């Protein structure tokens, strides 16, 4: 049968959502051969615990659960619990994304209720430009929540938060969120094709 190898190499692309996006940003900042990175509603900060890689130590931004709100439905709204971004892009809790070798695409839901993804993406843009890097591509979707998944995945407006062990809202309006998932997928594919190449090698076994 045929195997289709879609990674051109030697560089690779990273795609992550939420905390997974922050892990991708960390990898892009500290590891070699990362040619392109897509952050879907990531924060770009060390959130709840200190991150250490070799001699680099990134302290947590921290949060305050007293800022939790309860929606009419009884589900928690945690969008305001994270601490303020004192110092903006100079905040010591920010991932040093200026060290990334390849470009970064930020996909943002403007109705994200996990954290303020649009603010974080703009802060990341400010940091990159302050370090002489080009302005990154930021694609923001109104009426769109935290979990921007592949097209036709059902929208997840709320679910159990593994750290809080309680149901929290993720935001988003059904129609707008669903349309955003379709467009975001196309944007991601286009981004990777541009920066990773589209050559395919086939091998017959």
What digits encode the pLDDT tens for the residues 85-110?
999 999 999 999 999 999 999 999 99
To the nearest whole number, what is the mean pLDDT of the chain? 91
Q: Which helix (H) or strand (E) holds 65?
A: none
Q: Return phi, psi of residue 146, to 5°.
A: -80, -45
Three-state secondary structure call for residue 52: strand
3-state SS, one letter per residue, for 87-128: CHHHCCCECCHHHCCCCEEEEEECCCCCCCHHHHHHHHHHHH
Answer for the pair 42, 18: CB distance below 8 angstroms, yes or no. yes
d(CA 43, CA 73): 27
Active site residue 131: no
pLDDT at 199 over 60: no
Considering the candidates 111, 112, 117, 177, report the single residue annotated as catalytic: 112
Q: What is the mean pLDDT of residues 5-16?
A: 76
**Could you tell me the CATH number of the domain that includes residue 35?**
3.40.50.1820
Q: What is the pLDDT, as a whole number, of residue 201?
A: 41
Name the band, by pLDDT with cuts 50, 70 and 90, for residue 3.
Answer: very low
Is 73 part of the annotated catalytic residue set? no
- What is the residue range of 150's domain? 2-204
Count: domains in the chain = 1
Residue 27's H or E segment, with its range, is: helix 19-30
Q: Is the pLDDT of residue 184 over 90?
A: yes
pLDDT at 36 over 70: yes
By mean pLDDT, which of 3-17, 41-55, 116-130 is the weakest? 3-17
Residue 197's contacts (CB-CB under 8 Å, 6 or more residues apart) are: 8
Q: Is the distance from CB of 147 to CB of 184 less than 8 angstroms? A: no
Average pLDDT estimate for 155-180: 95
Residues 6 or more apart from 50 whose CB is under 8 A from it?
Answer: 57, 58, 59, 60
187, pLDDT greater than 50: yes
pLDDT higher than 50, residue 181: yes
146 is catalytic: yes
pLDDT at 11: 77
For residue 29, give both structure tokens: 């900042």
């Amino acid at each position: 049968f045929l195997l289709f190898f879609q990674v051109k190499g030697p560089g690779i692309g990273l795609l992550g959502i939420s905390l997974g996006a922050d892990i991708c940003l960390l990898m892009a900042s500290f590891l070699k051969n990362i040619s392109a990175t897509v952050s879907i509603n990531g924060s770009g900060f060390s959130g709840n615990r200190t991150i250490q890689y070799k001699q680099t130590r990134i302290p947590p931004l921290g949060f305050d659960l007293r800022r939790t709100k309860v929606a009419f439905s009884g589900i928690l709204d945690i969008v305001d619990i994270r601490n303020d971004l004192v110092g903006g892009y100079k905040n010591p809790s920010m991932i040093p994304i200026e060290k990334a070798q390849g470009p970064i695409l930020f996909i943002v839901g403007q109705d994200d209720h996990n954290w303020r993804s649009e603010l974080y993406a703009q802060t990341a843009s400010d940091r990159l430009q302050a370090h002489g890097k080009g302005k990154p591509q930021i694609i923001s979707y109104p009426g769109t929540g935290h979990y921007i998944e592949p097209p036709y995945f059902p929208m997840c407006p709320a679910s159990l938060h593994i750290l809080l062990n309680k149901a929290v809202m993720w935001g988003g309006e059904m129609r707008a969120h669903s349309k955003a998932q379709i467009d975001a997928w196309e944007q991601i594919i286009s981004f990777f094709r541009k920066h990773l190449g589209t050559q395919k090698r086939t091998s017959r076994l």
